[in-house]
Structure 1
Amino acid sequence: DGFRGTLQTDGYAGYNRVCRENGLTRIGCWDHARRKFVEASQAAPAKKKGTKVSKADVAIGKIRKLYAIEKRIEALPPEEKTRQRQQLAQPVLNDLKAWLEKNRTRVPKDSLTYKAMQYTLNQWELLTGYLADGRLHISNALAENAIRPFAVGRRNWLFADTPRGAKASATVYSLIETAKANGLEPFAYIHHVLQHIGGASTVEEIEALLPWNVTLSKLQEG
């Protein structure tokens, strides 16, 4: 509640409503676009020596230039990063878009390469959204890495007995991952919360137990 800012996602259309109803700016993720070309490249027949590079591989090479720029400017302050992206990444993006528009009619419409091209062009405005603000990232890999332990672990808890149980589980998982994102050791943090939540009688006292309000020194003292 009350969040205002930018939501970075894959191409799932359901996020359109989330952003519209909450006044959020939505941007896309180049990891997802690139992944579709990688899948197309891997599905292609084995290349023989001397054969032309596939269009999927050409696209991957062009996208790789965008990531190389990000690596080069990652230590810069946001304002300078924005300027560098406009100067360095925009021409690469212009070239990539022109290449996609020219070549999507040259591959079969039922091919993975065509689908990757179409996805990228359909998402273009969102995919280029990161250029506008140096605080934004080229992909949402940080978020995906944060939820990966849960995504892998859910195979071990495939079913929740009730909707209430599923909601409770989601709350706990979110709290643990947020604690990790704030540099807290999950077991120590949960132990701290359980020690103090019984005496929290006001909203302020409960909010003081949220991960971003708890420091390691407090955990050590607790």
Structure 2
Amino acid sequence: MTAEDRPRKALGYLHKNRRKLTIYTEDGQVNIDNNVTENAIRLFVNGCSPWLFSGIPRGAKASAALYGLIETAKANRLNSYDYLPRAYTDLSRAQTVEEIESLLPWNLQSVTEANPPNESKGGVS
């Protein structure tokens, strides 16, 4: 690639991905970057020793899915120790897409929250 081709390639990328690159301007809940997510998965991505021994690609994919689910639960202020057993138990009974989607962390705010926003630190209010 020549130096003259680089700006053309960059502008082509921008044009092709404009919608994805500007979605944060339309929804205040979408971050401009993914730094929070990257920081949450840094140990996993850098090869924290328990993940090095997944054995096979299927094991690595399963580990990544589980870790992603845990981090998503945390991001939705859920206690993952309470969320995961409920999600896996209910998942075994789910028969429709809607039932499965109802188990996603952002749809299960009734599971014990990790840090409830209105609860005082001094105990029961």
Distance 1:205 1:191, change over 3 A: same
Opposite residue 104 of structure 2, the aligned amino acid is: L
Aligned counterpart, 2:57 = 163
Opposite residue 25 of structure 1, the aligned amino acid is: L
Does the 8 Å contact 2:78/2:105 carry over to 1? yes
**Mind listing any 5+ residue stretches in structure 1 that lack a counterpart?**
1-15, 27-129
For residues 166-201 of structure 1, the C-alpha deviation after alignment (integer angstroms, 9 at most, x for no partner) is: 111111111111010000011111011122112110
SS in 2 for 1:179: helix
Structure 2 residue 90 is matched with structure 1 residue 196: yes
Same amino acid, percent of matched pairs = 45
Does the 8 Å contact 2:51/2:63 carry over to 1? no
Distance 1:23 1:162, change over 3 A: farther
Distance 1:174 1:156, change over 3 A: same
Measured in 2, the distance between the counterparts of 1:171 and 1:198 equals 17
CA drift at 1:133: 7.9
Measured in 1, the distance between the counterparts of 2:40 and 2:81 equals 17
Aligned counterpart, 1:145 = 39
| Greater RCO (Cα-Cα under 8 Å, separation 6 or more) | 1
For residues 56-108 of structure 1, the C-alpha deviation after alignment (integer angstroms, 9 at most, x for no partner) is: xxxxxxxxxxxxxxxxxxxxxxxxxxxxxxxxxxxxxxxxxxxxxxxxxxxxx
Q: 1:208 aligns with which of 85, 98, 102?
A: 102
Distance 1:22 1:190, change over 3 A: farther
In the superposition, the TM-score normalised over structure 2's length comes to 0.60
RMSD between aligned residues: 3.4
Q: 1:25 aligns with which of 21, 37, 43?
A: 21
In the superposition, the TM-score normalised over structure 1's length comes to 0.36
Measured in 2, the distance between the counterparts of 1:161 and 1:21 equals 36
Residues 101-112 of structure 1: matches in 2 within 5 Å?
none
Measured in 2, the distance between the counterparts of 1:192 and 1:146 equals 23
| Count of paired positions | 97
